[in-house]
Amino acid sequence: MLRLTQSEENYLKAIFTLSQDTEGAISTNDLAEKMLTKASSVTDMLKKLCEKELLEYQKYQGCALTNSGKAHALAIIRKHRLWETFLVDKLNFGWDEVHEIAEQLEHIQSTELTDRLDEFLGFPKVDPHGEPIPGKDGRIESVSNRILLSESLVGMKAIVMGVEDDQTEFLQYLNKIGLHLGTPIDIADKLSFDGSVLVNMNGKQVQFSITIAKQISIKPL
Amino acid sequence: MLRLTQSEENYLKAIFTLSQDTEGAISTNDLAEKMLTKASSVTDMLKKLCEKELLEYQKYQGCALTNSGKAHALAIIRKHRLWETFLVDKLNFGWDEVHEIAEQLEHIQSTELTDRLDEFLGFPKVDPHGEPIPGKDGRIESVSNRILLSESLVGMKAIVMGVEDDQTEFLQYLNKIGLHLGTPIDIADKLSFDGSVLVNMNGKQVQFSITIAKQISIKPL
DNA sequence: AACTTTTTTTAGACTAGTCTAAAAATTAGA
DNA sequence: TCTAATTTTTAGACTAGTCTAAAAAAAGTT
């Protein structure tokens, strides 16, 4: 299998995640924003990755991963999520503390290591943020019956199943208000003018802006 | 604490290990050989590391680590040996399979991670090759009563405690002849003309060249 | 359809780490 | 101690990845 640099791997991962909620090609600018870099740097990298047949790229037309590129991206995501699970389950880190470390661990090159770690963890299906962990073959088992909190209906009862964003500050905020995976919630109200969601949980009422509600996935009961 | 690149870390580690069995400064050429690189590349790196006060360096005089440089080197060695222990104890890798992977894992930046891993492993004193694991403070607990097989006396009974070299092929050879940590051995004879050591172990007799005998450390009973 | 704005690419420069080839310093030998 | 051999450094070049500034293409607006 093709050997990639950390930078190349990070680009592939970014393109893959952007593709998840985007139709068609990924634009150079969007990718530059995601990678916290400049469009000119992105153009250079796209040429290189295209050369290696990890993505398709035509001047001014953005890019899209090939099957090979997708496979690489999924392998990195698999490692990232397995390591996060290791850090939380075995080393007792909080779910808000593991992203940075996993960003480094995901680049360790050894399929054998990844697979043994998977086994050691008992073949977990989701990571500490509720995100599904791709299997050896790159397949993601679909997580059933989930919706975003932003799409919930008033009166619904549900269980928190995951978060779409694993940035430290966001997760620390959720910790502070007592929201974790598995927390039961009641949708008390939705404010039509700004999309805010009022939620009863742990005996208190909390208000989530639409931005936050889009980051929380729940399973209606 | 100063942030270093992987390459800088590898140089510090190499200088540290060379210093272990060398009096005085480490020469540019010796370091180049150890790093599988050219002397000119080494000179450039020495200038940089000297700038950062990790080592002392004067043109044509070789180099020696400062206390800061030693501390960094020991931190890397600590991580390397803890990860090797994890791979063998928790993921069931063989002692001959872990060096390469640990070479990557040793560069993961997080003291918190290292210390939690240490705790998770039960604060091991030695790694899978019998090498001592530096503590949080960088101190290495001296491993008592050990000598090299090359220094043993005929008639001695001993236990294999460690190997100085952790290259895959060497360890695979030891596996093949059934030599592991804890294996009891009898020194049957030493050949004066080439320094070979004849050893009885597992009911068989094995002959070790002086080169190999210098790589095996034992505890006389 | 022509003009303006935005996006994207090119051109050229910079850093880190490496290399080769040549120059300089040190060490060894007679 | 003078010369030869060895070691080490310098000089200049290369790759990967990044940047800024400017040019080119695409998209939006009247």
Q: Domain ranges in chain B? A: 6-65, 147-220
Tell which residue, A123, A111, A81, has the closest CA to residue A98: A81
Q: How much is the pTM?
A: 0.93
B142 band by pLDDT with thresholds 50, 70 and 90: confident
Tell which residue, A102, A108, A155, has the closest CA to residue A131: A102
Q: What angle do CA A151, A157, A162 make, to 5 degrees?
A: 60
Q: Does the pLDDT value for residue A116 go beyond 90?
A: yes
Mean pLDDT to the nearest integer, B93-104? 96
All residues at 6 or more sequence positions from B110 whose CB lies less than 8 Å from its CB, including other chains: A100, A101, A104
Distances (CA, A) of A17 to A79, A98, A185, B76: 15, 19, 28, 33
Q: How far apart are CA A124 and CA A115, in angstroms?
A: 12
Search chain B and give the residue with CA nearest A84: B113
Q: How far apart are CA A87 and CA B138, in angstroms?
A: 24
Mean pLDDT to the nearest integer, A36-49? 97
Residue-wise pLDDT for B55-94, tens only, equals 999 999 999 999 999 999 999 999 999 999 999 999 999 9
| A104 contacts B104? CB cut-off 8 A | no
Q: How far apart are CA B196 and CA B209, in angstroms?
A: 4
May I ask the CATH architecture of the domain B6-65? Orthogonal Bundle (1.10)
Mean pLDDT to the nearest integer, A26-47? 97
Q: Does the pLDDT value for residue B145 go beyond 90?
A: no
Residue B57's DSSP bridge partners are: B63
Alpha helices per DSSP H over chain B: 6-20, 28-34, 39-51, 67-89, 99-105, 111-120, 168-177, 210-213
Name the class of domain A147-220: mainly beta
With contact defined as beta carbons under 8 Å apart, do A218 and A147 qualify? yes
Q: How far apart are CA A216 and CA A220, in angstroms?
A: 13
Search chain A and give the residue with CA nearest B114: A91
| B101 contacts A108? CB cut-off 8 A | yes
DSSP state string for A151-185: G--TT-EEEEEEES---HHHHHHHHHHT--TT-EE
Within 19-78 of chain B, which residues have Cβ less than 7 Å from strand C?
A: 35, 37-38, 40-41, 44-45, 48, 59-60
Residue-wise pLDDT for A117-133, tens only, equals 999 999 999 999 999 99
Q: How far apart are CA A160 and CA A184, in angstroms?
A: 6
State which nucleotides on strand C lie below 7 Å from a protein beta carbon: 7-12, 16-22, 25-26
Find the residue closest to D25 using CA and C1' atoms: A60
Q: How far apart are CA B41 and CA B11, in angstroms?
A: 11
Q: Indicate the helix (H) or strand (E) that contains A130.
A: none
Within 135-154 of chain A, which residues have Cβ less than 7 Å from strand D?
A: none
State, as a whole number of angstroms, the distance between the CA of B14 and the C1' of D8: 19
All residues at 6 or more sequence positions from B59 whose CB lies less than 8 Å from its CB, including other chains: none
| B101 contacts A116? CB cut-off 8 A | no
Q: What is the pLDDT of residue A95?
A: 94
Q: What is the pLDDT of residue B135?
A: 97
Q: What are the two backbone dihedrals, phi and then psi, of residue A216, each rounded to the nearest 5 degrees?
A: -115, 125
Q: How far apart are CA B185 and CA A115, in angstroms?
A: 37
Mean pLDDT to the nearest integer, A6-13? 98
Sheet strands (E) in A85-142? none
- The reply to whether B59 Cβ lies less than 7 angstroms from strand D is yes
Which nucleotide is nearest to A40 if distance is taken from CA to C1'?
C9
Which nucleotide is nearest to A47 if distance is taken from CA to C1'?
C9
B196 band by pLDDT with thresholds 50, 70 and 90: very high
Q: What is the pLDDT of residue B84?
A: 98
Q: How far apart are CA B93 and CA B6, in angstroms?
A: 25
Q: How far apart are CA A220 and CA A184, in angstroms?
A: 10
Q: Does the pLDDT value for residue B166 go beyond 90?
A: no
All residues at 6 or more sequence positions from B163 whose CB lies less than 8 Å from its CB, including other chains: B129, B130, B170, B171, B174, B215, B216, B217
State, as a whole number of angstroms, the distance between the CA of A211 and the C1' of D30: 35
Q: Does the pLDDT value for residue B1 go beyond 90?
A: no
Mark out chain A residues that contact chain B at CB-CB < 8 A: 87, 90-93, 97, 100-101, 104-105, 107-110, 112-113, 116-117, 120
State which nucleotides on strand D lie below 7 Å from a protein beta carbon: 7-12, 16-22, 25-26
Which of A101, A113, A114 should be substituted to probe chain B, the one whose Cβ sees the most B Cβ atoms within 10 Å? Answer: A113
pLDDT, averaged across chain A: 95
Residue-wise pLDDT for A51-80, tens only, equals 999 999 999 999 999 999 999 999 999 999
pLDDT, averaged across chain B: 95
Residue-wise pLDDT for A140-192, tens only, equals 998 778 999 999 999 999 999 999 988 899 999 999 999 999 999 999 999 98
| B110 contacts A101? CB cut-off 8 A | yes
